[in-house]
Amino acid sequence: MKEDNSVFQSSKLNLVDVQTLGDITIAQVKYDTKVIPDIISLHKAFELGYVIVKELPSERVNNIELENTSSKFVFILDGDILKGAKQNRVVNTSVLVAPKSKIILPVSCVEEGRWRFNSERFRPSDEVAHKSIRYSKLKTISELRVQNNVSFSADQGDVWRNVSMCSAKLDIDSPTESHSDSFEYFKDEFEDLTKEFSLDANANGLFVFIGGRLSGCEIFNSKELLEDYFGKIIKSAAMDGKMKNKNSVNELEKPVETKIIIKKAMQEFQKCIENATVSQGLGVGQETRLNNDDKSYYSLVHENEIIHQTIITAD
Identify whether the C-beta of residue 97 lies closer than 8 Å to the C-beta of residue 308.
no
Task: Calculate ∠ Cα 267-272-276, nearest 5°.
Answer: 115
pTM of the model: 0.94
From 126, 134, 94, select the one nearest 110 (Cα to Cα).
Answer: 134
**Number of C-beta neighbours around residue 15 at 10 A:** 15
Give the Cα separation of 227 and 215 in Å (integer).
19
Average pLDDT over residues 11-26: 94
Q: What's the Cα-to-Cα distance from 51 to each of 45, 200, 283, rounded to whole Å?
A: 6, 29, 15
Give the Cα separation of 98 and 70 in Å (integer).
9
Average pLDDT over residues 2-20: 86
Which contiguous run of DSSP H or E holds residue 115? Answer: none
Task: Write the pLDDT tens digit of every residue in 134-167.
Answer: 999 999 999 998 888 888 999 999 999 999 999 9
Average pLDDT over residues 91-118: 97
Backbone angles phi, psi at 35, to 5 degrees: -70, 125
Give the Cα separation of 12 and 9 in Å (integer).
5
Which contiguous run of DSSP H or E holds residue 94? Answer: none
293-300 own/partner pairs: CB under 8 Å, 24+ apart: 293/268, 295/265, 295/268, 296/135, 296/138, 296/139, 296/142, 297/8, 297/269, 298/78, 298/93, 298/94, 298/138, 298/142, 299/4, 299/7, 299/8, 300/94, 300/96
**Number of C-beta neighbours around residue 76 at 10 A:** 25
- The answer to whether residue 251 scores a pLDDT higher than 50 is no
Task: Write the pLDDT tens digit of every residue in 181-228.
Answer: 999 999 999 999 999 999 999 999 999 999 889 999 999 999 999 999
Looking at residue 91, the DSSP 8-state letter turns out to be E
**pLDDT (0 to 100) of residue 16:** 95
Residue of higher predicted confidence among 258 and 231: 231
- The answer to whether residue 255 scores a pLDDT higher than 80 is no
Average pLDDT over residues 87-94: 98
Q: Residues of the chain with pLDDT > 90: what percent? A: 88
Which range has the worst mean pLDDT, 105-114, 147-156, 166-175, 254-263? 254-263
Residues 6 or more apart in contact with residue 136 via CB below 8 angstroms: 154, 155, 158, 159, 162
